[in-house]
Amino acid sequence: MLKLVNIKKKFNDKTVLDGINLEIEKGSIVSMLGPSGSGKTTLLNIILGLIPMDDGKIFFDDEDFTNIPMKNRGFNIVFQDYALFPNLNAYKNIIYSMKNNTDFVSKDELDSIIETLELTPHLKKRIEQLSGGQKQRVALARTLVTKPRILLLDEPLSALDGVIKETIKERIKLITKQYNLTTIIVTHDPEEALTMSDKVLIINDGLVSQYGTPKEIIETPQNSFIEEFILRQLKIKKDNIYDLFGECYA
Ligand SMILES: Nc1ncnc2c1ncn2[C@@H]1O[C@H](COP(=O)(O)OP(=O)(O)OP(=O)(O)O)[C@@H](O)[C@H]1O
């Protein structure tokens, strides 16, 4: 279990995180949802160990991780822009960090990740020859081979659209459940958060606005921000679709 206790962070006297408390169970998918500038990426980077916090504690499986440096935490991230190496092909990108690391996946596990993400036909391609969805899957595979104790995904679907988005969503859910991998996703899209996650953390103004299952958030929003920001957006989307296809559903 990952436990965050009273995490605080300021940038130049501006409070960005104002005492975040959170518990994430092993193997669950949690989305962090909030408007632009609400502190989602900052919190993700603090969990990863990329930036320091001003106050608070982080525990992983009851061990105090607060002062453990990033490279020893064993958490790993897929960045929003994927950060792939353009001079290496897809396969070399995937296995890049496996060199000299015996505690990463075995060859069989590597093959299984490649197969589950349906990357076999693309392994020899250069990065520039891959579509957005294929790049996303290569980036995901490259992170999974490091056997992360926690998988962090920063806006994993933002560069994708339509059917590809739905496919990647299902792949992420499938692979994280297959490996019982605790996964934290940053997103600003309520639909994405509510359809991908076991629990959703809604952040507003540096505070937890609500933390609950998608059903709890939809059925018992705890404040007007959730109703306005989250549920209203979803209702508009639903109404737009109904206006277009209403007669088909009637
Ligand atoms: N290195 C930094 N120096 C100064 N201010 C920063 C820094 N990083 C983030 N901030 C500020 O902290 C606030 C929270 O930023 P953060 O990137 O965590 O938000 P976010 O919720 O991820 O937003 P978005 O959805 O737009 O990515 C913003 O006001 C941002 O300008």
Q: Write out pLDDT tens, residues 65-115.
A: 999 999 899 999 998 888 899 999 999 999 988 776 667 788 888 998 898
> Is pLDDT of 250 > 60?
no
Q: How far is CA 175 from the centre of its chain?
A: 13
pLDDT of residue 242 exceeding 80 = no
Ligand 1 neighbourhood includes 38 CB (under 6 angstroms): yes
Q: How far does residue 43's CA lie from ligand 1's centre (Å)? A: 10
pLDDT bucket at 247, cuts 50 / 70 / 90: low
Interval between CA 195 and ligand 1 midpoint (Å): 25
Alpha carbon distances (Å) from 114 to 91, 117, 130: 9, 5, 15
pLDDT of residue 184: 96
pLDDT digits (tens, 9 = 90+) for 154-209: 988 887 777 778 888 888 888 888 889 999 999 988 988 999 999 999 999 899 99
Q: For a substitution probing ligand 1, which of 41, 51, 80 has the most ligand atoms within 8 Å of its CB?
A: 41
d(CA 182, CA 150): 5
Pick the closest to residue 60 from 149, 151, 143 (CA basis). 149
Q: What is the pTM of this model?
A: 0.89
CATH level 3 topology of 1-74+156-164+183-250: Rossmann fold (3.40.50)
CB 226 within 8 A of CB 209: yes
Taking Cα atoms as reference points, which of 136, 195, 194 lies closest to residue 161?
A: 136
Please state the domain extents for the chain. 1-74+156-164+183-250
Choose among 21, 99, 76: nearest CA to 53. Answer: 21
Distance CA 207, CA 202 (A): 8
Residue-level pLDDT at 229:
82
Which protein residue's CA is at the shortest distance from atom 30 of ligand 1?
A: 37
Of all protein residues, the one whose alpha carbon is nearest to atom 5 of ligand 1 is: 11
Q: Best of 38, 192, 207 to mutate for ligand 1, by most ligand atoms within 8 A of CB?
A: 38
Neighbours of 186 (CB within 10 A): 25
Contact 149, 27 (CB under 8 A): no
What is the tens place of the pLDDT at every residue in 30-73? 999 998 899 999 999 999 999 999 999 999 999 999 999 998 99
Mean pLDDT computed over every residue of the chain = 89
